[in-house]
Amino acid sequence: MKILLPALSPTMETGNLVKWLVKEGDNVVSGDILAEIETDKATMELESPDDGKVEKILVKEGTENISVNTEIALLKVDGEEIEEISEKPSEISSQVSSNGSDTATTEVKISMNSLLNQTKENLEAKNWSEKEITMREALNQAIEEEMNLDKDVFLLGEEVAEYDGAYKVTQGLLDKFGSKRVLDTPISEHGFTGLAIGAAMAGLKPICEFMTFNFSMQAIDQIVNSAAKSLYMSGGEINVPIVFRGPNGAAARVGAQHSQCFISWFSHIPGLIVIAPSNARDAKGLLKSSIRNPNPVVFLEHELLYKEKTNVPEENDFLIPIGKGNLIKEGKDVTIIGFSMSVQRILNALPSIEKLGISPDIIDLRSIKPLDEELIHKSVKKTNRVVIVEDGFGSTSFGSHLSYLIQSNCFDFLDSEIIKVSGKDVPMPYAENLEKLALPTTDEIVSAVKKVSYIN
């Protein structure tokens, strides 16, 4: 029996084979988990369609961009003969990887890793032992390390335990820490968020996962009125050390109800710390700092960044301070500011910008609240021009507030208007072509840089 890569989501056209959970020669029964497949929306499990023996594995784990219905393995079922394979498994894997590769995505991966390796930041003076891993793995490492270091840290949310998390961020944690510290909750955000906040008030340190931050709206009263305001309302008596984390923003054709960016929403609320990392390295260092922080932290990840790889320190004491941005590329002609997924969009546009003879400062904010205003102002006073890129709706957005801060503090240094490239003020379309147009495009970023530089 041929095992084909199935369409595990309605819009899936290709997938990545993350991991084989069986090897050649293993006997399996119908329903056994054969592999983990990363779709355009999540990491999902591939089940065996029948009883039998795994005869051949045709596509090696780690292979990306495999087309739906590609043969990935052969299962020998009793009474059936195995068909002869015309190509070797290694050849099939090679063809899948090359045929489905996305040049632009590969360039972004390399650019981000090389830029982070160059900056290394003053705060990271140690000679770290590093490994290239995905953001998904980096977040998992951060949670595991902090749970090992502090018995008061625990994790709760929908499908975080038995299913290893909807996006496999919490994979393996139930086996390591047990059901008292890794809790599957009912589908009731208002309920389990209140439970987590109460636990934090009692001295524990919950990590509360929302399957998507769109669902956090079911618990917004708890987040704003119970978590954010309790320290103030109690006169400094009640701390709420809690991390709200999960994917934020538009993924890939998940519809308007699942595609909103909440960075502007949460940064509006006094008492909340807001973090939005763009890469695996920052995700690990900032999540560990967030778990150790005595205040409520909203940690906004991006689903499409879960599979992106960068070099990440493996040490338990690797932390990135909250409130520090990162100048990931130094230039002299224009300051381009981004956070979360918009940093990747800026890097996609970078080759076209440099072809114009323009050398940009690129700032990754990372920490939205508190904000590294010193880093921003220093760059603007050098370059005299600013472009802000964000995925959120343009109306009353965080970029609008950022523009105000810059013109208030750097007005005399500006040689051009500040230009903001943001998501369009429309509910996110489902159609792929319209979805791309609703988000900041490479052409829009390049055009903004040309405009502030007075290039026709």
Could you say which DSSP state residue 83 is in? P
Q: Please pick, among 258, 301, 308, 444, the residue that the annotation labels catalytic.
A: 258
Tell me the CATH class for 327-452. alpha beta
- Residue 132 three-state SS: strand
With bands split at pLDDT 50, 70 and 90, how would you rate the model's confidence at 319?
A: very high
Question: Alpha carbon of 244 to those of 160, 206, 228, 279: distances in Å?
Answer: 13, 8, 12, 18
Residue 342 dihedral angles phi and psi, to the nearest 5°:
-65, -25
Fold of 122-313: Rossmann fold (3.40.50)
Q: For residue 190, indicate whether it is catalytic.
A: no
Q: Please pick, among 145, 158, 189, 308, the residue that the annotation labels catalytic.
A: 189
In three state form, how does the secondary structure of 138-186 look? HHHHHHHHHHHHCCCEEEEECCCCCCCCCCCCCCCHHHHHCCCCEEECC
With bands split at pLDDT 50, 70 and 90, how would you rate the model's confidence at 126?
A: low
Mean pLDDT of the chain: 88
- Please tell me the predicted confidence (pLDDT) of residue 353: 95
CATH number for 2-99: choose from 3.50.50.60, 2.40.50.100, 2.60.40.10, 2.130.10.10: 2.40.50.100
Condensed to tens digits (0 to 9), the pLDDT of residues 138-187 reads 999 999 999 999 999 999 999 999 988 888 899 999 999 999 999 999 99
Question: CA-to-CA distance for 16 and 24, rounded, in angstroms?
Answer: 20
Q: Domain ranges in the chain? A: 2-99, 122-313, 327-452
- pTM, two decimal places: 0.82
Condensed to tens digits (0 to 9), the pLDDT of residues 189-199 reads 999 999 999 99
Burial class (CB in 10 A: 0-12, 13-18, 19+), 105: middle
In three state form, how does the secondary structure of 293-337 look? CCCCEEEEECHHHCCCEEEEECCCCCCCCCCCCEEEECCCCEEEE
Q: Which residues pair with 2 in a beta bridge?
A: 74
Q: For residue 189, indicate whether it is catalytic.
A: yes
- Residue 418 three-state SS: coil
Tell me whether domains 122-313 and 327-452 share a fold. Answer: yes
